[in-house]
Chains A and B, each alone.
Chain A
Amino acid sequence: MLRVGRRLVHTSGPKTLCYVSQSTDPYTNLAFEDWLLRNTDPQSYVLYLWRNRPTIVIGRNQNPWKECNLDMMQKRDVLLARRTSGGGAVYHDLGNTNYTVLMPRQAFSRDRCALMVAQALQQADIPAYVNARHDVAVGERKVSGSAFRLTSSRAFHHGTMLIDADLARLNGCLRSRHADAIEARGVDSVRSAVANLRDYSWAIDHDAFCTAVRRQFDASFGPVHDMPFDAAANTEMKDRIRTWDWLFAQTPDFVHRLD
């Protein structure tokens, strides 16, 4: 047994694990990710693959009024979620697949898993690489956004992968009318030109991407054990992260000039 903070965690058993979500609810999926962070062996490497129904996911320290067009999101039935990692706002729909890799803190580097994902895409004949901002790109376009979370014993890297997402809807929702009128502490998104993998490969889809990443993960970290997904694993967090308090009140201090 290993003492992690004040909890005891079983350390025997396989060290390379893969979980695939069966839910498209962003709060369930984010809560499960947090559950993995807190409950899997700190020495293990864990791959988690998940997809959400249309959602804008902002970074922990962002301002939703500044980052997204909340009116348009409501009209188009796009949810808002706030994750616990840093970085900027991203758009999720069923044409976007998310990957999370959890690893021991001392093994962490921002490019390690991005390179793994780029290699997985190269195996699928897509000439992907990792750019200076630790994102996976093809040519001049970003196809994936990355963010990270670090605790004393563990780290995770999670990223989006635009496979066949609705980019027009993405642009509309990530353009706030209030951006110029808000002065805020907190973190602003850095905008980049994006593309779907579909622009580079007619064969790539969610299943093909998951298979390629899982294969590369297995090659990088050792024989993978597939584990069951439990949508009810972390209902306390799931309920907390859909409240107004977390989504809006968590925002760093800001001033909105109304002219």
Chain B
Amino acid sequence: YTESHEWVRIDGDTATIGVTDYAQNALGDVVYVEVPEANTEVEAEDVVGIVESVKSTSDIYSPLSGTIIEGNANVVANTKLVNKSPEADGWLFKIKFSDKEQLDALLDATKYKQLIEDGH
């Protein structure tokens, strides 16, 4: 998890990233999604996409450096997936990450839960 309310699922050297249920609830009904294109090189903390909900545009960040494998075209076509299934079908993008050490900066489930309870 990240402090900006994304979840990260690791599978070898690939990570799948989306926004958490807490985030989709805070965002409100999602009406528009932009995800990164395959083969884009990104650095950790780069803005890689945008979500629009209730007249608000929110930046989506990549928590890891690497190469984008795929942006989720389903979510772009059906934005409500982000609200209905934020941590499964509503994933946003997959990345082949280049720096394993960046994983250490991520929060585990307990720490993320603490973050939400502290009101961030």
Interface residues in chain A, defined as those with a beta carbon under 8 Å from any beta carbon in chain B: 5-6, 59-61, 84-88, 106, 110, 133-134, 146-152, 185-187, 252
Q: Would A150 and B59 be within 8 Å (CB), given that A106-B120, A252-B32 are in contact?
A: yes
> What separation, in Å, do the CA atoms of A146 and B55 have in the docked complex?
8
By secondary structure, the A interface counts as loop
Known A59-B55, A61-B31, A187-B32; further 15 A-B contacts with Cβ < 8 A? A6-B45, A60-B50, A84-B57, A86-B55, A86-B56, A88-B55, A110-B54, A133-B55, A134-B54, A147-B55, A149-B58, A150-B56, A150-B57, A185-B32, A186-B32
Return 7 A-B CB contacts under 8 Å, by A number: A60-B50, A86-B52, A86-B54, A88-B55, A110-B55, A148-B54, A185-B77
B55 touching A87, Cβ below 8 Å:
yes
B53 within 8 A of A: yes
A187 lies within 8 A of B52 (CB)? yes
A152 neighbours in B (Cβ, 8 Å): 3-4, 59, 61
A252 to B33 CA separation, bound complex (whole angstroms): 10
Bound form: Cα–Cα A187–B52 in Å: 9
Question: On chain B, which size bracket covers the interface?
Answer: 20 to 34
Whether B119 sits at the interface, judged by CB under 8 Å, is yes
| Shortest distance from the beta carbon of B36 to any chain A beta carbon, whole Å | 16
B55 touches which of A85, A185, A186, A252 (Cβ 8 Å):
A85
Residues from chain B with Cβ under 8 Å of A148 in the complex: 54-57
Name the B residues within 8 Å of A6 (CB-CB): 43, 45
B49-79 residues with Cβ-Cβ distance < 8 A to A are 50, 52-59, 61, 76-77
CA distance A73 to B52 in the complex (A): 27
Q: Which 3 A-B pairs have the closest CB atoms?
A: A87-B55, A148-B56, A150-B58
Give complex CA distance A149, B57 in Å.
5
| Chain B positions 18 through 56: 1 when the CB is less than 8 Å from some CB of chain A, otherwise 0 | 000000000000011010000000010100001011111
Chain A residues with Cβ below 8 Å from B58 are: 149-151
